[in-house]
Each structure stands twice: as C-alpha cells, then as structure tokens.
Amino acid sequence: MALSVDPGVWLAAFLTLCIFSFLYKDNLFYRIAEHLVVGVSAGYWLVILIRQTLVPYFVIPLFRERNWNVIPGPLGLFLLVIAAFLGILIFTRFSTRYSWLARIPIAIIWGIGAGFVIPLSLQTKVIRQLQASIIDLKTVGTWDGFNSLLVVIGVLSGLTYFFFSKAHKGAVGSVAKVGIWTLMIGFGATFGFTAMARISLLIGRMDFLLRDWLGIIK
C-alpha cells in the first residue's frame, strides 16, 4: 500500500482533519467543514426525496400510469391530488395572512399519528412488557427464577420511583430507592455501551486515514 493519489481521498482526508482540528480549539477549518456538511446534507436529502418520493408517489401514478395502485380508479387519483394539495398548504406558513391553513395538514398528520400510536404503544410497551415480567412457575427455585424475581422487583421499584403523586417517604421511599439503584445500573450499562460506540467510530476514521489515505496499513 502507498500514499493515495486519488484527489477524492485527499479531499476526504482534509475534511476529516478539519473536523479533528476542533479538538485543539474551535477554528476556521472546522467551521468551514461544519457549514459545508449542513448544506451538502440538505442538498443530498432534497435530491433523494425528489427521486425516491415525488417520482413514485406523483409522477408515475398521475402522469405515467394514470392509476394509483393503493386505490385504483379516479377516486385514487383524486385522493392523491388531495394529499399533494394538503402538502402544498404547509408552505402557507410563509404567509402572514394564510399561515393558519398550514395547520390543516399538520392536524391530519398529528391525527393519523395519534391513531396509530394509541393501540400499538399500549400493546408493545405496556402489555407485552408486563406479560414478560410474569414469573414462570417452572423456574421457581432456579437461577433463572431468581433473576426473573429480580426483574420484577426492579420493574416495580423503578415504576415506584417514577410515581410522583406520593411523597417518597417511608416504605414508598425505600422501594423508590431500590428503583433508583436499578435505574443507575441501567444508565451505567448505557454509558459503557456509549463509550464503546463512539470509539468504534473513531477507529473507523483512523482506519480511513492510515489505510485509504496514507497507505500505512494493509
């Protein structure tokens, strides 16, 4: 392996070093790279949206096939045009006089989102999690049974800690204390994993500099 001769790799290496220069102190090169990535990301997203949403959702059904595969026939096309119209209404936010019209599509998004969330959130995050906390009687007296019991105690005490309608004093206070210990172990585990994640990303960048750019490692 040798030093790269690809101008693209040199540009990428230069920008990587621009960002790393922030570790010394905030500087011109870091700010240039920082502002550049904002613009490039927005531009990239815009192109992706045009290619990956406007074409399949509008160009194909309205102009090429004159049929929408979700609801075939004129009703489908009408519903598609309505959706586009509602989408365009969002831009009325730029007008002082008609900005209230932007609330209509936002209200619809919120309504649809809320309708999806109510049953599925309760099922996924409450019912299924409570079901999983029921101890299997076959495991009583075993290591697994003991761990299941600890999970139940941890969940109940954790929930008690989040219950603020009663002062955390006496028995409630003691249970809440167990809850905060449990939560701290959970947060500690998350911290350990966070360190791990960020280091992986650093290794990735160093690998790029040493392998792809400088050609020091094979």
Binders of another protein among residues 63 to 122 (CB under 8 A) are 69-71, 79-80, 83-84, 86-88, 90-91, 93-94, 100, 103-122
Residues 6+ away with beta carbon under 8 Å from 42: none
Interacting residues with another protein between 189 and 218 (CB under 8 A): 189-208, 210, 216-217
CB 12 within 8 A of CB 208: yes
The C-alpha atoms of residue 81 and residue 140 are separated, in whole angstroms, by: 61
Pick 167 or 213: Cβ nearer another protein:
213
Pick 39 or 141: Cβ nearer another protein:
39
DSSP state of 59: I
Instruction: Report the nearest approach of another protein to the CB of residue 142 (Å).
Output: 14
Instruction: Report the nearest approach of another protein to the CB of residue 138 (Å).
Output: 16
In degrees, rounded to 5, the angle at the alpha carbon of residue 26 between the alpha carbons of residues 20 and 28 is: 90
Instruction: Report the nearest approach of another protein to the CB of residue 20 (Å).
Output: 7
Is 55 among the residues that bind another protein (CB under 8 A)? yes
- # chain residues binding another protein, by CB under 8 A: 132
Pick 119 or 170: Cβ nearer another protein:
119
Residues 6+ away with beta carbon under 8 Å from 3: 213, 214, 215
Interacting residues with another protein between 13 and 52 (CB under 8 A): 13, 15-16, 18-20, 22-24, 31-52
Q: What is the Cα 59 distance to its own chain's centre?
A: 29
Token pair, residue 180, equals 């905060």
Interacting residues with another protein between 117 and 146 (CB under 8 A): 117-126, 128-133
Measuring CA to CA, which residue among 137, 121, 141, 138 is closest to residue 129? 121
Is 1 among the residues that bind another protein (CB under 8 A)? no
Q: At what angle do helices 7-20 and 28-49 cross, to 10 degrees?
A: 120
Interacting residues with another protein between 155 and 194 (CB under 8 A): 155, 157-159, 161-162, 179-194
Instruction: Report the nearest approach of another protein to the CB of residue 44 (Å).
Output: 5
3-state secondary structure of 21: helix
Q: Which member of 8, 73, 141, 170 binds another protein (CB under 8 A)?
A: 8
Pick 26 or 170: Cβ nearer another protein:
26
Token pair, residue 217, equals 């490692």
Instruction: Report the nearest approach of another protein to the CB of residue 167 (Å).
Output: 19
Measuring CA to CA, which residue among 135, 136, 117, 137 is closest to residue 126? 117
